[in-house]
Amino acid sequence: MYKFIDGGVTAPQGFTAQGVCASIKPSNTTKRDLALIYCDTLCNAAAVFTKNLVKSDTIAVTKEHLKNGKAQAVIVNSGNANTCNADGYEKAVRMCEIASDVLGVKAEDVIVASTGVIGEVLPIEPVEKGAEAMRGKLSKDGGTNAAEAIMTTDTVKKEMAMTMTLGGKTVTVGGIAKGSGMIHINMGTMLSFVTTDAAVSAEMLECALKEAVEDSYNMVSVDGDTSTNDTLAIMASGKAGNPEITEKNEDYRVFVEGLTEAFKMLAKKLAADGEGASKLLVCSVSGAKTKQDAVKVSKSIICSSLLKAAMFGADANWGRVLCAIGYSGADVDVTKVGVSFKSAKGTISVCENGAGIPFSEEKAKEILLEKEINIIVTLGDGDQKAEAYGCDLTYDYVKINGDYRT
Residue type, 28: N
Residue 232 CA, distance from chain mean position: 8
The DSSP call for residue 219 is G
Report pLDDT for 219. Answer: 85
Strand-strand pairing, 346-352 and 169-178? unpaired
**CA 212, CA 258: separation in Å to the nearest integer?**
9
* DSSP states of 15-76: EEEEEE----STT-SSS--EEEEEEEEEEEEEEEE---SS--HHHHHHHHHGGGSEEEEEEE
Between vectors from CA 395 to CA 389 and to CA 399, what angle results, nearest 5°? Answer: 105
pLDDT in tens, the chain (406 residues): 899 999 999 999 999 999 999 999 877 678 999 999 999 999 999 999 877 778 889 999 999 999 999 999 999 999 998 998 999 999 999 999 999 999 999 999 999 999 888 889 999 999 999 999 999 999 999 999 999 999 987 878 999 999 999 999 999 999 999 875 444 454 434 689 999 999 999 999 999 999 998 888 888 875 555 556 778 999 999 999 999 999 999 999 999 999 999 999 998 888 777 766 789 999 999 999 999 999 999 999 998 989 999 999 999 999 999 999 999 999 999 999 999 999 999 999 999 999 999 999 999 999 999 999 999 999 999 999 999 998 888 877 777 667 655 5
Residue type, 291: K
**CA 53, CA 40: separation in Å to the nearest integer?**
35
Is the distance from CB of 256 to CB of 46 less than 8 angstroms?
Answer: no
Nearest to 131 by CA among 105, 156, 151, 164: 105
* DSSP states of 115-166: EEETTSPPPHHHHHHHHHHTTT--BGGGHHHHHHHT-SS-SS-EEEEEEEEE
**Phi/psi of residue 95, each to 5°?**
-60, -40
228 is annotated as an active-site residue: no
Q: Where are the alpha helices (DSSP H) in 176-318?
A: 202-214, 250-272, 291-303, 305-312
Report pLDDT for 331. Answer: 96
Catalytic residue (one of 153, 189, 228, 231): 189
The DSSP call for residue 110 is E
Report pLDDT for 180. Answer: 58
Angle separating helix axes 305-312 and 291-303, nearest 10 degrees: 60
Report pLDDT for 247. Answer: 97
Report pLDDT for 406. Answer: 59
Is the distance from CB of 150 to CB of 24 less than 8 angstroms?
Answer: no
Domains of the chain: 2-272 (3.60.70.12), 280-402 (3.10.20.340)
Report pLDDT for 182. Answer: 47
Q: Give all strands of the β-sheet with 355-356 in edge-to-edge order.
A: 355-356, 346-352, 338-343, 372-378, 280-288, 384-391
Strand-strand pairing, 34-49 and 70-80? antiparallel
Report pLDDT for 371. Answer: 94
